[in-house]
Amino acid sequence: MKKHLLLYICLLMALLVCGCGKDKDKEKDKETATTTAPIFNMEQFAPQTDPAEENAARMDEDGFFLANDYVKTMGDTINVRVEPNTEANIYILLGPDEVLRRSGYNDEWTRVIIDGDSFYIYSDFVVKTTTPVGAEDDFTMATPGDATGKVIVIDPGNQKNVNANLEEIGPGSEETKQCASAGFVGTKYGSREYELNLEFAQILKSELELRGYVVHLTREIDDVNISNQARAQMANDASADAFIRIQMNYSTNKDLTGAMAVCMTKDSVYNGHLYEQSHALSTRLLQGIVEEVGVVNNGIYETDQMTTINWSIVPVSIIKIGYLSNEGEEELLMSYDYQNQIATGIANGIDYYFGK
């Protein structure tokens, strides 16, 4: 009997000890939950990036992988800082479910665009989202508008794959040119024109869509094989209200900087009837860029030697954003903030063209 009583007492004490341990663990969790900012699993809530995409991503001079997408805030109160460190000043406090444009990221911080400038959020507190920024968002770079459904086709000039085949430079012409090239290579950093053209085009597309335009890109990746004639045909098939080709410039004069536009001549045998509209589009695009960024205005170059222009049956302009032959300008052209400024300028120019 004593033996059974002793066994019963030991069992009871063991149960009491286990219960106390659980109560202590619960109390610890409760204390942590009430004294720590919302706890998120980094792997679950940090912006998700495909490994192959991350490996191919370009890193800027600040150690951030370049991005052009959206993230949503997670948590009750989010600190948005002016620099990527916890000691930096707080620019603004955000609540949950705020959708922001992301311009870069690293292992700890996410760089976002608010009021046209770059700020930083600890990456634990944002998650990548495909939800577009709505008109109710107070923290977007651009102000959404109503462009009455105007269709804009943007051609990111050049491509990764050189196509040395020849095509007619215009309808009925006996003169031919190479179908597509890879474009220029930067003097200092070796940046590839075809890559930069696409980066600018993608940012511009997002900007224009926020303003209410219907936007199509002739290409969305670098690894394509689309001739210049075919690109113009895409704009024609879309019945575009404006066809804009994005390109860089290059010169043996390393001091040249600034933007230039290209359109057909007034007497073009291919589409001279579009001269007034195309010249006005070119003028407005340059105006928008110069006003927004303050670059040198190199004017409008009129020529009938551009295949993309000659095959267009809609108002068309080639906008050459800057010189890869100039070291300082090449560095600017690789900067995401500068790309956003240029895109805003071009979008403003399109607004001017349509009388907005």
Q: What is the pTM of this model?
A: 0.62
- Are 120 and 161 found together in one domain? no
Domain-located, residue 135: no
Give 71-120 pLDDT, tens digit per residue.
Answer: 889 888 889 999 999 998 888 888 888 888 888 889 899 998 887 678 89
Please report whether residue 5 resides in a domain.
no
The pLDDT value recorded for residue 56 is 40
Average pLDDT for the chain: 82
Residue 92 domain flag: yes
pLDDT class of 34 with cuts at 50, 70, 90: very low
Amino acid identity for residue 140 in this structure = T
What is the model's pLDDT at position 76?
A: 81
Tell whether 196 and 81 lie within a shared domain. no
More confident residue, 356 or 66: 66
Do residue 157 and residue 66 come from a single domain? no
Among the residue ranges 58-62, 115-119, 250-254, 301-305, the one predicted with the least confidence is 58-62
Q: Which residues contact 151 (CB under 8 A, 6 or more apart)?
A: 213, 214, 215, 216, 238, 239, 240, 241, 242
pLDDT at 27: 36
Q: Which helix (H) or strand (E) holds 165?
A: strand 163-168
* Contacts of 145 by beta carbon, 8 Å cutoff, 6+ apart: 210, 211, 212, 351, 356
- Looking at the DSSP assignment, which residues form a beta bridge with residue 320? 247, 260
The answer on 302 and 168 residing in a single domain is yes
| Same domain membership, residue 201 and residue 57 | no
Q: Does residue 32 fall inside a structural domain?
A: no
Predicted confidence (pLDDT) per residue in 270-318, tens digit: 999 999 999 999 999 999 999 999 999 999 999 999 999 999 999 999 9
Same domain, 333 and 217: yes
Rounded mean pLDDT of 51-72? 65
Q: What is the mean pLDDT of residues 148-167?
A: 94
Q: Count CA atoms closer than 13 A to 76's CA, side-chain side.
A: 5
Average the pLDDT over each of 57-71, 250-264, 284-298 and give the range with the smallest value: 57-71
Does 167 share its domain with 93? no
Virtual torsion, Cα 230, 236, 239, 241, nearest 10 deg: 100
The percent helix, strand, coil of the chain (3-state, each to 5) is 35, 25, 40
Q: What type of residue sits at position 41?
A: N
248, 313: one domain? yes
The reply to whether 168 falls in a domain is yes
Q: Tell me, what CATH number does 241's domain have?
A: 3.40.630.40
Tell me what the mean pLDDT of segment 34-58 comes to: 37
* Residue 132 pLDDT greater than 90, yes or no: no
Domain co-membership, 67 together with 206: no
Residue 2 has pLDDT above 50, yes or no: no
Q: Is residue 240 part of a domain?
A: yes
The band of 54, judged by pLDDT with boundaries at 50, 70 and 90, is very low
pLDDT-based confidence at 331, cuts 50/70/90?
very high
What's the pLDDT score for residue 99?
87
What does the alpha-carbon distance between residue 185 and residue 335 come to, in Å, rounded to a whole number? Answer: 16
Give the domain CATH number at 81: 2.30.30.40
Residues composing the chain: 356
Q: Does residue 19 sit within a domain?
A: no
- Classified as helix, coil or strand, 161 is coil
Q: Measure the CA–CA gap between 298 and 323, rounded to whole angstroms.
A: 11
**Which single residue is written with the structure tokens 């690293």?**
106
Q: What is the pLDDT of residue 114?
A: 82
284 and 249 in a common domain: yes
Separation CA 231–CA 218 (nearest Å): 6
Q: According to the 3-state scheme, what is the secondary structure of 175-226?
A: CEEEEECCCCECCCCCCEHHHHHHHHHHHHHHHHHHCCCEEEECCCCCCCCC
What's the number of domains the chain is made of? 2
Per-residue pLDDT band for 11 (boundaries 50, 70, 90) equals low
Q: Which two tokens stand for residue 303?
A: 């020529």
Question: 195 in a domain, yes or no?
Answer: yes
- Angle of helix 336-353 versus helix 193-210 axis, rounded to 10: 50
Domain span holding position 182:
151-353
Model confidence at 182: pLDDT above 60: yes
At 134, is the pLDDT very low, low, confident or very high (cuts 50, 70, 90)? very low
Residues 176 and 287 in one domain: yes
pLDDT at residue number 52:
38
Same domain, 339 and 281: yes
The residue out of 129, 164, 184 marking a domain boundary is 129
